[in-house]
Amino acid sequence: MRLDIASLYIGGCSLERHATNILFNVHAYLVERDNEGVFTKGQGATVGEWLAKEPWDVVTIQQASPLSWQPETYVPWGDQVIAEIRRLAPQAEIVFQETWSYNKKDARLSPGKWGIDQTEMYARIHAAVAAFAEPRGLRVIPTGAAVQAARARGEEPVGSGGDHIHLNRAGEALQARVWLKALFGVDAATSPR
């Protein structure tokens, strides 16, 4: 099987900013690409040029994590992003990644700025993603659910050092297993190495 993976991103980019960048053809995306083991990095790409570049099988999207628990931040921007993907890569399946709630140490969580705790943040993310993805027929990569399941086992896959929002090394490995299962149906825990 041939895997050609490209990641276009701007750290912390919301669906609204993606939609605006698409509308104005902004060359703002860092591109990381792995084409059969050849890894390259570049800057200044647009979403449109990369969507049209190859016949992608899957395009994944997500909401920026600090907005992911707020359903009102998904529409209309998520629909604009989806429309552009469907226009330029009609063969691609669009899949939505569910993000995760932050580490309890993050100052925005209760009694902090947002007034919600880790569990409520996840519940709101889960509900917002489902409300957006289901009516649009999008499969969901349940990374947030996997993070919550790890927490229920006494693990904390989010945070290291002073970073309370990103996945740590264990969380990155967990996310990789979730993506492998969601996209390819392969369970890394039971597959031969």
> What local confidence, expressed as pLDDT, does residue 36 receive?
75
The 10s digit of each residue's pLDDT in 113-157 is 999 999 999 999 999 999 999 999 999 999 999 999 999 999 999
The 10s digit of each residue's pLDDT in 4-27 is 888 998 999 999 999 999 999 999
Sequence ranges of the domains in the chain:
4-145
> What local confidence, expressed as pLDDT, does residue 35 receive?
77
Q: What is the CATH number of domain 4-145?
A: 3.40.50.1110
- Is 0.85 surpassed by the pTM of this model? yes
Q: What is the distance between the alpha carbons of residues 51 and 28, in angstroms, rounded to a whole number?
A: 15
- 111 cis-preceded (ω within 30 degrees of 0): yes
Beta bridge partners of 96: 61, 140
Q: What is the distance between the alpha carbons of residues 60 and 179, in angstroms, rounded to a whole number?
A: 11
The 10s digit of each residue's pLDDT in 67-91 is 999 999 999 999 999 999 999 999 9
Burial of 185 (0-12, 13-18, 19+ CB in 10 A): exposed
17: number of Cβ within 10 Å: 15
Question: What percentage of the chain reaches a pLDDT higher than 70?
Answer: 98
pLDDT for residue 46 is more than 90: yes
